[in-house]
Amino acid sequence: MEENNRGLTRIAIPVRVRGMTPQNKFFDEQAETVWVGPEAIVIRLRSLLELETEVHLMSLKTNLGATFRTIWLNTQTINGFRAIGLELVEAEGDLWAAGLPAPPPVAEEVITQTWLECQRCHQKDEIPLPEVPGEFISEGLVIGRNCGKCRATTPWGHTQPDAPAEASPAQQPASGAGAKHEAEQRSKGRATIRMPIKVIKRYYGYELEDVGETINISRTGVYFRTKKTYEKGENVQVVLPYNEGDIAIRVFAKVVRQDQLVGTWERGVALYLEK
């Protein structure tokens, strides 16, 4: 058995997990632990949970049950399963039959830090994550953290740090007659207007907000800069112009193109606005 520096032991124990999905549907699923500790575990589930959701878990080795709550999750799937971190709330007894070794000394602890973004106000910060094994810290990670700007505990997602201030905002495609013709065709009827835009999309049951800035606008479309990734054909909702605190009307839109903006970590995303 392998130990990590968070008091967890890598061990596969068959368990049965029952609870409710974000769509208020009951699930009863057999799964297996990945990491186990006295107060927390990591499992892989097909069902998607929300932060702070309570589930009932029963060890199929001891037939003892316990209540756990979700403290983090990674929405990316591997063979149809998602990694979920659970914290013990109440147990019926020795759930793991006292088969786990003692955790290593605290002095040896090395805590992983990563960049997270508040999914409500989009503030970014480099935050230590002692409760998440490093293998699960990647795009798709969602965890609850206190946000000083929102003055509340909000969901934070894994992100990248902002691009250097001196980066060039150029976004023209590669040179050549074909590229030039394509750029001219796309620019017809478009006006170069800079204004805040908010794009809302659904991601594994979560509503994610992305606040960016427009590059140009036409009667039926908008091209904006963002640090987020979109997929061609993806359906989203748009608030334009976006002013924080105002009552906003959402417009349905579809992603038709995504470009990498030269010299930056940002992307240019083209949306077709539905009538």
pLDDT tens digits, residue range 203-225?
Answer: 666 788 899 899 888 888 999 99
């009552």: which residue's tokens?
A: 247
Q: Is residue 150 part of a domain?
A: no
User: In terms of DSSP bridges, do strands 9-10 and 26-36 run parallel, antiparallel, or are they unpaired?
Assistant: antiparallel
134 DSSP 8-state letter: G
Count of domains observed in the chain: 2
Checking if the pLDDT of 168 tops 60, the result is no
For residues 190 and 142, the model is more confident at 142
Contacts of 151 (CB under 8 A, 6+ apart): none
Domain boundary among 68, 91, 114: 91
Checking if the pLDDT of 46 tops 60, the result is yes
Query: Quick one: pLDDT at residue 107?
Result: 39
Q: For residues 238 and 201, give the distance between their C-alpha atoms in angstroms, rounded to a whole number.
A: 9
pLDDT digits 0-9 by tens, 240-267: 888 887 777 889 999 999 888 887 788 8
213 vs 229, 243, 269, CA distance in Å? Answer: 15, 12, 11
Q: For residues 43 and 37, give the distance between their C-alpha atoms in angstroms, rounded to a whole number.
A: 12
Q: Is residue 53 part of a domain?
A: yes
- Under the banding of pLDDT at 50, 70 and 90, the label for residue 166 is very low
Q: For residues 150 and 108, give the distance between their C-alpha atoms in angstroms, rounded to a whole number.
A: 34
Mean of the per-residue pLDDT values for the chain? 81
For residues 126-146, give the mean pLDDT.
Answer: 86
Expressed as residue numbers, the domain containing 184 is: 179-273
Q: Is residue 250 part of a domain?
A: yes
Q: Is residue 131 part of a domain?
A: no
Q: For residues 53 and 73, give the distance between their C-alpha atoms in angstroms, rounded to a whole number.
A: 11
Q: For residues 275 and 273, give the distance between their C-alpha atoms in angstroms, rounded to a whole number.
A: 6
256 in helix, strand or coil?
strand
117 neighbors 110 (Cβ within 8 angstroms): no
Query: Quick one: pLDDT at residue 189?
Result: 58
* Cut 0.75: pTM above it: no
Checking if the pLDDT of 129 tops 70, the result is yes
Query: Quick one: pLDDT at residue 247?
Result: 76
pLDDT digits 0-9 by tens, 67-105: 999 999 998 888 889 999 999 999 988 888 766 655 544
Query: Quick one: pLDDT at residue 223?
Result: 93
Domain boundary among 73, 91, 109: 91
153 neighbors 145 (Cβ within 8 angstroms): yes
Q: Is residue 98 part of a domain?
A: no
Domain boundary among 91, 122, 139: 91
Q: Is residue 188 part of a domain?
A: yes
- Under the banding of pLDDT at 50, 70 and 90, the label for residue 6 is low
User: What CATH number corresponds to the domain at position 33?
Assistant: 2.40.10.220
Query: Quick one: pLDDT at residue 101?
Result: 55
Query: Quick one: pLDDT at residue 205?
Result: 67
Query: Quick one: pLDDT at residue 106?
Result: 43
35 neighbors 4 (Cβ within 8 angstroms): yes
Q: For residues 236 and 242, give the distance between their C-alpha atoms in angstroms, rounded to a whole number.
A: 15
Q: Is residue 216 part of a domain?
A: yes
Q: Is residue 170 part of a domain?
A: no
- Among candidate residues 211, 174, 212, 214, the one with its CA nearest the CA of residue 190: 214
- The conformational region for residue 182 under phi > 0 = left, psi -120 to 50 = alpha, else beta, is alpha
Specify the amino acid at residue 31.
Answer: A
